[in-house]
Amino acid sequence: MSNTYDEFSRAKYVACIYLARRMHTKSEMYNKLIKKEYAPEICEKTIEALIELGYINDTDYAERYTKDAINLKKHGINRIKRDLKQKGIDNEIIDQTITELDIDNSEILARLVEQKAERLDLKDIKQKNRLIGFLIRRGYKYDEIFSAIREYCDNKGEI
């Protein structure tokens, strides 16, 4: 029994070291503990304890990640959803977070198009495609991108 307790204590200690650096999702923490060769039951028990203590909270993680992705990285909703899914966040939490934050993708996209288009000649198809590719990788939808580019060109008097 003490061996299991010792392993649990060590796993909790290791997890706290990871959490001291940055927030982690349940899935990320589980994978890190498994890589450290802790037994799956110990990993689950450790994560449950950390959730009870409030050190791991996937909903809070998703909300903070989404706000940072929008405000700092200028990512679109598709990219944010994909990134959160890769981090092991449940679809319900992702959808709830996106809905609650009421994100205006078009405003962010318009600012991004304006910022990038200043250095490009959008009449040149290569440069325009480069801008479109950049925005798609950022997680914006094709139709949103074309609307934003069209609006930018209309405001600048370009076609």
Q: What pLDDT digit, counting tens, does each position of 45-83 carry?
A: 999 999 999 999 999 999 999 999 998 999 999 999 999
Q: Which amino acid is at 136?
A: I
Among the listed residues 143, 153, 144, 148, the one whose alpha carbon sits nearest the alpha carbon of residue 120: 153
Class of the CATH domain delimited by 59-101: mainly alpha
CA distance 152 to 117: 9
Class of the CATH domain delimited by 2-56: mainly alpha
CA distance 106 to 116: 15
Bigger pLDDT: 155 or 27? 27
Residue with tokens 């939808």: 141
Q: Which amino acid is at 141?
A: K
Q: What is the pTM of this model?
A: 0.83
Average pLDDT, the chain: 91
CB 94 within 8 A of CB 62: yes
* pLDDT score at 156: 76
Residue with tokens 């110990």: 42
Bigger pLDDT: 117 or 22? 22
- 33: which 2 tokens? 């503990």
Exposed/middle/buried for residue 118 (C-beta within 10 Å: 0-12, 13-18, 19+) = exposed
Task: Kindly state the helix (H) or strand (E) to which residue 91 belongs, with its residue range.
Answer: helix 91-101
